[in-house]
Amino acid sequence: MQFPDYRPRRMRQNSSFRRMIRETRLSVDNLIMPFFAVNGKNVSEPIPSMPGQYHLSVDNIVKQAKKAKNLGIPAILLFGIPESKNPLGTRAYAKDGIVARAVAAVKNKCPDIAVITDVCLCQYIDHGHCGMVDKGIIENDASLDLLARIAISHANAGADMVAPSDMMDGRVGFIRESLDDQGFSHIPIMSYAAKYCSSFYGPFREAADSSPKFGDRRTYQMDPANAVEAIREVALDVEEGADIIMVKPALAYLDIISRVREEFDLPVAAYNVSGEYSMIKAAQKMGWVDGDRVMMETLTAIRRAGADMILTYFAMDAAAILTAP
């Protein structure tokens, strides 16, 4: 079809037509809202690098979980900032750890929202890496037992799903086996399957106090230049028992999301990370962009690339727009 017989503008001339032929649908059902849990009571401390986000005590996590549920958001993701750190990251898997307490409180007061927990050591271990360290080397296999302990502690607290973000080789299989052995075969794993060593994590690392004290994470997170490797990484996690596979970050890796969606038939998640969020917030503050419209365009692009679910700090704001009368 060619002009003048075919005129694409015919179907763009009013909002009803545009809605009728819209190819990608963004729904509140696609959204997962992350929260940062800290110790204390009635704590709601702004995170300077992430405008609109807060460090929240458990009581306020519960309040925000209820708000998310009322907006129709199906799930939240919990990160914890402990009161102390040590070489073994013991507060990550302690029975009274910050995430375990937050999980228990949310499931008690707001049982209908799904609670997903981040499984990693970086916030809890004194050197800030995602695994054990020996003589300056991140030890892969020595880290697996501690990661499994974290997952089990979260499951014991009532978590609906665990999400290992460490990128240690073999951790999905090790966690799966450990959960099964402890009677948690029903707990799914959302694997950070293709997690890149990205510069877009900067605001999160400030928020979670999780920057490495030496070196960087290039020996375990993926090289941003690699795409074929992402397929291999995802395939490994699928073979090890992942129930959901994630690509992180999202915007600079839309091609990876698309390739993963084409290659695998499991649900695909994408993490719209802190740097992506904060850049939009900063541009909005300067008056350079319409923040709400850029937010919705960004989330729609991630959906269009193939993500079934989007972990995003925009979830509450986007849900308010999506559910508005």
Residue 140 lies in a domain: yes
CATH of the domain at 143: 3.20.20.70
Per-residue pLDDT at 218: 81
Active site residue 107: no
| Catalytic site residue from 69, 85, 248, 281 | 248
Residue 285 lies in a domain: yes
Active site residue 248: yes
Per-residue pLDDT at 215: 67
Residue 132 lies in a domain: yes
Pairing between strand 44-46 and 268-272?
unpaired
CB burial of residue 212 (10 Å; 0-12, 13-18, 19+): middle
pTM: 0.95
Q: Name every residue whose Cβ is closer than 8 Å to that of residue 26 and which is 6 or more positions away in sequence.
A: 296, 299, 300, 303, 318, 322
Block residue for tokens 């306020």: 60
- Residue ranges in the chain modelled with pLDDT below 50: none
Per-residue pLDDT at 103: 98
Residue 4 lies in a domain: no
Q: Domain containing 182: what range?
A: 25-322
| Catalytic site residue from 69, 107, 195, 281 | 195
Our count of domains for the chain comes to 1
Residue 3 lies in a domain: no
Residue 6 lies in a domain: no
Per-residue pLDDT at 309: 98
Residue 257 lies in a domain: yes
Residue 252 lies in a domain: yes
Per-residue pLDDT at 127: 74
If you average pLDDT over every residue of the chain, what do you get?
94
Q: What is the pLDDT of residues 71-126, one digit of tens each?
A: 999 999 999 999 988 888 899 999 999 999 999 999 999 999 999 999 998 889 88
Q: Do the beta carbons of residue 55 and residue 79 sit within 8 Å?
A: no
> Distance between CA 273 and CA 15 in Å, rounded?
31
Instruction: Please state whether 243 falls in left (phi above 0), alpha (psi between -120 and 50) or beta.
Output: alpha
